[in-house]
Chains A and B, each alone.
Chain A
Amino acid sequence: MSLTLIVLLPFIGAVLPAIMIRAGRNACATATGSVTLLALILLAVQAPAVFSGEVISVRYDWLTGLGLNVTFFLDGLGFLFASLILGIGLLIIIYARFYLSKDDPMGRFYVFLLLFQGAMVGIVLSDNILLLLIFWELTSLSSFLLIGYWKHLPEGRQGARMALTVTGAGGLAMIAGMLILGNIVGSYDLSVILQNTDLIQASPLYVPALILILLGCFTKSAQFPFHFWLPHAMAAPTPVSAYLHSATMVKAGIFLMARMWPVLSGTPEWFYIVATAGLITMVMGAWIALFKDDLKGLLAYSTVSHLGLVTMLFGFGTPMAAVAGVFHIINHATFKAALFMTAGIIDHETGTRSIRRLGGLMHLMPVAATIGIVAALSMAGVAPLNGFLSKEMMLQEAWETTWFDLNWLVPLLATIGALFSVAYSFRFVVHVFFGPRRDDYPAHPHDPPFGMWAPPAFLVVLVVLIGLFPAVVAGPLVAVTSAAVIGGALPDYHLALWHGVNPALGMSIAAIIGGLLLLWRHGGLSSAMENMSRPDAKAMFDIVIARIVGLSRLISDNLHDGSLQRYLSVMIVAAVAIGASGFYAQADHLAGTRAILPVTLPALIGWVLLVVSCIAVVFTHHNRLYCLLLSGVVGLIVSLGFVYFSAPDLALTQISVEVVTVILMLLALNILPKESPKESTTSRKFRDGLIASIAGLGMGGAVWAVMTRDYASISDYHLAQSYVGGGGNNVVNVILVDFRGFDTFGEIIVLGIAALAIFALIETVTQGEAAKRLAGWVVQARRSKDRHPLMTVVATRVMLPLALMVGAYIFLRGHGEPGGGFIAGLVVSIALIMQYMASGFGWAQNRLKANYHGMIALGVLAAGITGLAAVVGGFPFLTSDYGYVTWPIVGTFELASAMGFDLGVFLTVVGAVMLALAKLSQVERMAGHVEINVEPMDHDPSAAAPSPSKEA
């Protein structure tokens, strides 16, 4: 339980700084520190158990199916890292309180820091590799926020993104590796995985898993060739650098290698990958550090180098090397964090981090200088400090290592690495603290406040104590940690200053002497280095990212060029292709056996008309009015086809819809250009023609294939039940309002929505560009002076009652004969629209006074309520009923609930058509710049006086 709390505390506590910042910076820092301290205390409480070799674990089921559970365990390794994370974290929190300026949003800083802290603790305590992955990625995210904390600095932003990219990529690779590992073992629980060394190393998937996991480790721990992001992350505030980039996050990779050491190490693959990468990193990092003038840059590359050292040790795969690695982790954490904090103090006090601008600080800030010097000497591996101890162990291990039959290579390179390390450490000491005092520091340096130097001082004390009394101070921790790493019996080792004269001592002395010599010649070397062209990691990274983004843009922008013509042609080609691939997936295609109907004369005539009209549409489509007329003919022929093929309802509907469509299109065409420009190239026309022909062939072929074969349909039931169950003889209508009334319910809603959407679309025409365009509209064509010809007015007056009669007839007979609410609705709408057309909008609108919105709504409600009436009666929605009523004189007639439904259809259709057309005509009036008429005709000869509209 307390184990869980240790992990959760930083996360829970992360809300505190955000809240407490209003109470002041001290309160905020105190709250943050308290959280960390509490976690540290909880950890310390576990110490006795851990040191006695116990493994404390806790488990909560989370996603058991996947194998992702909240399981934590605390062994020596976890204890070491958790202590480092929380302990150094606490120091950093204190340090940061003084480091950050008043302008820096401190609350935010502490929030990010605690999130990061929690994630790190999570990594080191997870007993489930999926859970570990979660925390792993969380460190990438929180470090991204921390590195970019000073968001006004471009270096910070870029560094943050680079770190996120590299460590994120590694993390993703590791996900794959972990999943493979989990699958080899059959469990994602670390404690199970750690028991299955043989199984894992025998698996054919061992190498991929190893490589993928190592990718995660190497990126996180900045190992060659992924080391380049770390120096750029140094743009972060120094507390961040000290915490993330020396003490904790970069050690996550190291931690994982240590954690996985029992199951992954010991193979040649492990050795050659890990040890080689570590070795290269160690030497190269140290070499680069030597020439860094930026204090934090120097420390950053030194960190890279030291991480390489530890990696190399783990890579050796021997228990002894592992112990050395563990010990160096502890030592490095102490001196490097102290050094970072010292660098921060120098930066803070002098205003610069450039070694070239520093020197002589010993006199100005003796306390800080002392701390820095001791820590740096430890880094150099000078006795009797702790860095010396672990470096000796490293050199000894290197001495005993053979690399591809070369027994001198590793010792030599290790010595050179140590040599460089000595050189840059002494450079730090000499060029910063010693030498003459300068008078051109950007600020006036003096020792910082206690709160700022106390944390590094504490660490430096540890550096000395461990150096002097390693077995007492660090012995138990090293033992218990190493035991956890090795997972078996500890080798015979001694933590002591003096191991006698051995190769390591010789290598060490050589390194120190060589290092000092190197420092002596540093100036010349440095300028030589500057003249050498070196690959700049950041520039390369930027170029790579820019190239990738560029390539992405090339692909994405060219593909998504906004051309509907392309999108449509792709879609149509895809449809034809997928249909054909399905059709031809089978080798043999049986021809249909259904009898073919004979061709008759009317059918042949219709066919000729259709074909000619279609061809004419294609060839004359630039003239839009012709195009419309011709497509109207096509509609007429299709309607005739419906008549011919026993579908009178379809013919009725098609014809009615056709007229409304024509009216609609004419309304639009009045505003739109009357001609389409000829802008297609011949090749384009040819291509489109080809696509169109293939689509046509496909569709025609498919329909031919269907029509020539027999089938059985569920519609026999509809024919049988139409009258018995639905009370209607028109089976199509009964299907529409009864069997499949739900379709119709949706269908009228589509119509209603279309009208509402059209209304909304045109409603906005009075604003913005459209309104300007309409206000300046020039009516191009010659216009007749006769707005409302007398004859048409009179004729439509006569027609209105007739058309309504027809509408009523079509509505009422629909259930038994062709017709129904939809067609009736269109008939009535067209009759009404005819009034608008003949007598003008103003006059007709004043007389109609219908609420079309309400009509649509009422229609939907009527249909819905008819359906719900059945529900009230205990039947499913839309269950119909019908019966026969006998009235005197009138006789017997049928009443069906479906008529209520059909009434809804009728109302919706009338409302929708009228709303859409009447609203659309508003645009025309705006463009036409004419008065709305109040009289039905321009001049009424029956009236004695001239019409009032003319006088106005």
Chain B
Amino acid sequence: MSFILEIIISALIVIGGFFALVGSFGLVKLPDLMTRLHGPTKATTLGVGSILVASMLYFWLLQDSFTIHELLITLFLLLTAPITANVIAKAYMLDHADPDKDLPKTGGVEGWATFDAIGQEDDVDAPTTGTEPARKPVPEL
């Protein structure tokens, strides 16, 4: 019984390590940021998730101490990975993507949020100087 469990746990560890490696390998291999983004957000997350499950099972089944808090980390990673990917993509596109040439049109009136503020015509932010008066609805500290 315990042998089978060990095999399962070991497999999870191996799979996890493998995926983590693949994700990071993608980071090295893939040609540009947009493609590289796919590796870590998925492969790495799954890899770590798999190791976390291995840990859970290990403590639960082999160490006799029921632990499930690894789930929490998994939950966290699942919740945060898309946001991370989103902001990194936006950060990349701002400097390296021309919304007119490199990106498809939104299909609506407004452009992509990174380049286009709602209700305004301008495309790209020009350098701003200190003319705009700051409204202060919020008390400073």
Q: A residues near B, CB below 8 A?
A: 759, 774-780, 782-786, 789-792, 795, 798-799, 802, 841-842, 845-846, 852-853, 915, 918-919, 922, 925-926, 928-932, 934, 938-939, 946, 950, 952
Contacts and interface: CB of A to CB of B under 8 A. Distances in A.
Contacts of B131: 929
Interface in B86-141: 86-87, 90, 94-95, 113-120, 124-125, 127-132, 134-141
B138 A841 contact: yes
Contacts of A841: 138
A783 B138 CA distance: 23
B79 interface: yes
22 contacts: A759-B141, A779-B128, A782-B125, A783-B125, A783-B128, A784-B94, A784-B113, A785-B114, A785-B115, A785-B117, A789-B113, A791-B83, A791-B86, A846-B137, A918-B141, A922-B140, A928-B128, A929-B129, A929-B131, A930-B134, A932-B136, A938-B113
A782 B124 contact: yes
B126 to A, nearest CB: 9
Contacts of B135: 931-932, 952
B113 A785 contact: yes
Contact of A778 (B79, B80, B118, B128): B128
B125 A777 contact: no
Interface in B47-100: 76, 79-80, 82-83, 86-87, 90, 94-95
A950 B130 contact: no
B138 A938 contact: no
Contacts of B130: 774-778, 929
Contacts of B141: 759, 852-853, 915, 918-919, 922
Interface of B: 76, 79-80, 82-83, 86-87, 90, 94-95, 113-120, 124-125, 127-132, 134-141
A852 B139 CA distance: 13
B111 to A, nearest CB: 8
A795 B71 CA distance: 18
Contacts of B86: 789, 791-792
Contacts of B87: 789, 792
A784 B127 CA distance: 12
B115 A846 contact: no
Contacts of A939: 113, 118
Given A779-B127, A786-B113, A845 B138 contact: yes
Nearest to A774: B130
Contacts of B136: 932
B119 A950 contact: yes
Classify the secondary structure of B's interface with A.
Answer: loop
B53 to A, nearest CB: 20
B56 to A, nearest CB: 18
A932 B134 contact: yes
A931 B138 CA distance: 10
A789 B90 contact: yes
Given A918-B141, A938-B113, A950-B118, A786 B134 contact: no
Contact of A938 (B115, B117, B127, B139): B117
A798 B79 contact: yes
Nearest to A853: B141
A842 to B, nearest CB: 4
A842 B137 contact: yes
A191 B138 CA distance: 83
- 8 closest A-B pairs by beta carbon, nearest first, are A786-B113, A785-B117, A842-B138, A783-B125, A929-B132, A779-B128, A795-B83, A939-B118
A938 B112 CA distance: 13
A785 B113 CA distance: 6
Contacts of A776: 129-130
B38 to A, nearest CB: 18
B125 A785 contact: yes
A922 B141 CA distance: 9
A334 B86 CA distance: 104
A662 to B, nearest CB: 15
A795 B113 contact: no
Given A779-B127, A795-B79, A952-B135, 14 more contacts: A774-B130, A778-B127, A778-B128, A783-B125, A784-B94, A784-B113, A789-B87, A789-B113, A792-B87, A799-B79, A845-B138, A922-B141, A931-B132, A938-B117
Nearest to A786: B113
Contacts of B83: 791-792, 795
A775 B94 CA distance: 26
Contacts of B94: 782, 784
Contacts of A795: 79-80, 82-83
A952 B127 CA distance: 22
A785 B117 CA distance: 5
Contacts of A918: 141
B50 to A, nearest CB: 18
A841 to B, nearest CB: 7
Contacts of A929: 128-132, 134
Contacts of A930: 132, 134
B48 to A, nearest CB: 15
Most buried by B among A782, A802, A846: A782
A791 B95 contact: no
A759 B114 CA distance: 33
